[in-house]
Amino acid sequence: MRPERETRINGMFEGWSPNELYRLMDGSRWKLGRARASRAAMVRPAVKVWRYEGRFYLELVENGEFAEVQQVL
């Protein structure tokens, strides 16, 4: 299985938050698909967008952490 895309978060990543909109360097925007919270501090971390069984997941490459997301058009 290959990721749909590989890019970076545009700006500061401070962790997963239900109210956060994640803007990627490729221009796409994502929000959490399921409630989740964590804290982190990373500048422009590399991410991979995966699709599995009709759902999307955002992976932080640095630590392998995944979160289910939905694309915001």
Question: Model confidence over 28-73: pLDDT tens digits?
Answer: 999 998 877 788 889 999 999 999 999 999 999 999 999 999 999 9
Instruction: Look at residue 38 in the predicted model and tell me its pLDDT.
Output: 81
Which token pair is 42? 């990373």
List the beta strands (DSSP E) in 27-73: 29-32, 42-43, 46-52, 55-60, 65-72
Model pTM?
Answer: 0.89
Sign of the C-alpha dihedral, residues 6, 35, 18, 28?
Answer: positive
The domains of the chain are located at: 5-72
Q: Is the pLDDT confidence value at 18 over 90?
A: no
